[in-house]
Amino acid sequence: QVQLVESGGGLVQAGGSLRVSCEASGGTSSIRQLGWFRQAPGKEREFVATITWRFHDTYYADSVKGRFTISRNTAENTVYLQMSSLKPEETAVYYCAAVIPGAPYRGYREESSYNVWGRGTQVTVSS
């Protein structure tokens, strides 16, 4: 059974950079895609970026294009989200999530497409 563990969150000043990681374990051969979502206080969880497991195709939310980079270390089954030019409004809990066969796929931006979730890591951007 796939498990996801996020790490690397913390406090950063506005305009700064931070990298968060998501390590996958247990049946990773079943993963089709791994994405990052975030949930700010009082707001709904939103899509940030995603990467296909086999071919490393990447997709981003418009709000982070050009500032965030998602990548995968194949040998370590780890996906990274490198974030730069961070803004205070991007303070949120960042979650990684995996698409594995068995659930209806409604597109890479949709939470419901992802059926395994990590517990999240807090990113705080100070002004």
18-32 pLDDT per residue, tens: 999 999 999 899 999
- Report pLDDT for 104: 87
Longest CA pairwise span in the chain (Å): 42
- What is the Cα–Cα distance from 29 to 37, expressed in whole angstroms? 22
| Parallel/antiparallel/unpaired status of strands 92-99 and 121-126 | antiparallel
List Cα–Cα distances, 48 to 23, 29, 30, 94, 110, in angstroms.
17, 23, 22, 9, 11
pLDDT tens series, the chain, 127 aa: 999 999 999 999 999 999 999 999 998 999 999 999 999 999 999 999 999 999 999 999 999 999 999 999 988 899 999 999 999 999 999 999 999 988 789 999 999 999 999 999 999 999 9
Predicted confidence at residue 24, as pLDDT, reads 97
Distance, CA of 4 to CA of 25 (rounded, Å): 7
Of the candidates 72, 2, 89, the one whose C-alpha atom is nearest the C-alpha of residue 36 is 72
pLDDT at 81: 98
User: How far apart (Å, rounded) are the C-alpha atoms in residues 105 and 125?
Assistant: 33
Q: Are 72 and 59 in contact (CB under 8 A)?
A: no
Q: What is the pLDDT of residue 121?
A: 98
Distance CA 113, CA 17 (A): 29
Which pLDDT belongs to residue 74?
86
CA distance 114 to 5: 15
